[in-house]
Every structure is written in C-alpha cells, then in structure tokens.
Amino acid sequence: MTPDHSFPATTRALVIGEALIDIVRRPGAEPVSHAGGSPMNVAYGLGRLGVPTTLVTQIGADPFGDLIARHLRAAGVDLLPGSVTASATSSATAILDATGAATYDFDLRWELPELSLPAPCTLIHTGSIAAILQPGARAVLSAFTSAPAGTLLSYDPNVRPGIMGSRDEVVRAVEELAVAAHVVKMSDEDAAWLYPGRDLDQITRDYVAAGVALVAITRGGDGAILRAGGATAELAAHPVAVIDTIGAGDSFMSGLLYAILAGGTTEAVLQNTLDATDLGRLGQTALASAAVTVSRAGANPPTVAELAAC
C-alpha cells in the first residue's frame, strides 16, 4: 500500500555521498551515459516521490557534472552549495551481461569540503563508496554521527569490494556507521561479502541487537527480509519482467524512506517501536519502488503515481 503523499512543512531529507556518471555497456550496443552513484540515486528517488531533498556531494565543473546537476533539478533535488569542487566528475562503467545484471569499474574522486549542512533535517542518509573511501569518508562519518537528536539516520553499505579496501577494514567502517543509524539496508550480496557463511536472519538479529531500529536485507528476485525489535517480515518481490537491475537497491532504499516519512512512521522508528504490520507496509512500498525500476532501463525510480499503480 502506498502511503499518503504528505509531509510536515519542516520535512527535509539530506543525502551525503557520491554522484557520478554511469557509463552503461550492454552486449551489442553502444555505451550510454547516465547520472548515477548510490547516494545520488537515493536522493533522486526521494525527490521523484516528492520528499524535499538536498544532496551533498562532489562533482566537477565539467559536462558530466552539468548532466548530474540537471538530473537532480529534474527531480526537484537541491545540490548543496560547495558540491562542485572536483577537477573532474567521477564515473563508473557498468557492464551488463545477457541477464541485465551489472558489474562495475570505477574512476573516483571523493573529498568533501567543510560542510555547512541545512537545518533542520528530518532525515540524513548516506552509504556506499562515500562512507568508506577516504579522505571524504571522515566528513561523512562526522556529519552522520553529530546529527541532532531526533534526526532519522539511514545507511546502506552497498559494498564495492574492488575499491573499498580489505574486508576487515570495510566491516569495521560499516559497523561504525550502522550502529549510529536507525535504518540499515543491505543486499544479500553485501551480506555475503561482509559476513561470509552467516545466515541472513542472524545478520538482521545481530544488527537489531546492536541497536539498529530497522534492518532490511534485499534478496533480488526473492524479495526482502525486514526486522525491527522482535518483529520480522519476509516479503516476496513483485513479479515483473526485468530489463536491468541498475539502481534497484537504491530505489528500494528511497521507497523505504519515503514510506517511513509519508506514512507517519518516523517516530516509531526513532523510538524503536515498529511492529510486524509496520514492517509489511514499509517493505511492500520499498519492493514496489524497486519493481518499477527494474522494469525499465537504468536507475529510473518511480513517481508517486507509478508507485501507487504497482
């Protein structure tokens, strides 16, 4: 069920993380360039769903940076002043196989200036490369952990093993952010790399025991597991014809955050009082958001109307 599309006048989401260009290579086709980066995709997805959103990032004063800025404006997302700092905009080459699954090769720059964040913020979300790659990751952690009380904190590890460092280093960094967060989402592939051999159900239990209010693990075509306190929901994916999986996890993330903000559940997350009914509603909205995205090419998340129709 799609939540009512209404927010308090003070609602403001702040997303901190990388914005880059996805250069998509499909078998037998010419490469195509899209604005991308996991945090940027989440910000864009929130904007498409009507959530007032600001992105803190690092892009270049170049054609790729201009493309990203236009892309964000089209969804009503603000780019925090000072985000245009790099000598060149970062890129990720996504190589698709015959099933539409993507592997990535990155050309990255990540360093944030001294941040003057908009206040107040209802939500701060971060994740993926920006939360791990130095020197920018230090500024991300500082902004995340110094947020005022009552700010909803969300984190998606979105692991990229080839560029994040050793597993032990990444696990330490992931868990440092996760225990500060109210909401943590990861994929089953993230979980398998971070915690090889550990059962997904046990991972959700461990994160909840560490103080995370809501943990979601996506399982591709097999849906998702959500846990909060003693409540659990295992939900099936929406049946759709998959064009490609680019941005699917990010759309799940933005759909989940939208469902929390628009569904009147923010306080329940902050107070760690979610129940199984809440989990089912939140998870269904998030899965619907992901389903719309995989049904068409690129990281193209839904509008409110498209989400309602799913």
Q: What is the pLDDT of residues 185-228, one digit of tens each?
A: 999 999 999 999 999 999 999 999 999 999 999 999 999 999 99
What is the predicted pLDDT for the residue at 3?
64
In three-state secondary structure terms, 119 is coil
Residue 86 has pLDDT above 80, yes or no: no
What is the predicted pLDDT for the residue at 200?
97
Of 2-16, 191-205, 279-293, the poorest mean pLDDT is in 2-16
Q: Which helix or strand (DSSP H or E) is residue 110 part of?
A: none
d(CA 185, CA 165): 21
d(CA 158, CA 275): 26
What is the predicted pLDDT for the residue at 4?
57
Q: Domains plus CATH for the chain?
A: 13-309 (3.40.1190.20)
Mean pLDDT of 166-189: 97
Most confident of 9-13, 129-133, 215-219: 215-219
The model's pTM: 0.93
What is the predicted pLDDT for the residue at 6?
67
Residue 286: burial class (beta carbons within 10 Å; 0-12, 13-18, 19+): buried
Question: Cα dist. 56→4, 113, 259 in Å?
Answer: 27, 10, 22
Beta carbons of 287 and 223 less than 8 angstroms apart: yes
d(CA 28, CA 10): 48
What is the predicted pLDDT for the residue at 297?
80
| High-pLDDT (> 90) share of the chain, % | 70
What is the predicted pLDDT for the residue at 263?
87
* Average pLDDT of the chain to the nearest whole number: 92
Residue bearing the bigger pLDDT, 33 or 257:
257
Please write the tens of the pLDDT for every residue from 96-113. 888 878 787 888 889 887
First to last CA, the chain: 9
d(CA 49, CA 138): 30
Residue 1 has pLDDT above 60, yes or no: no
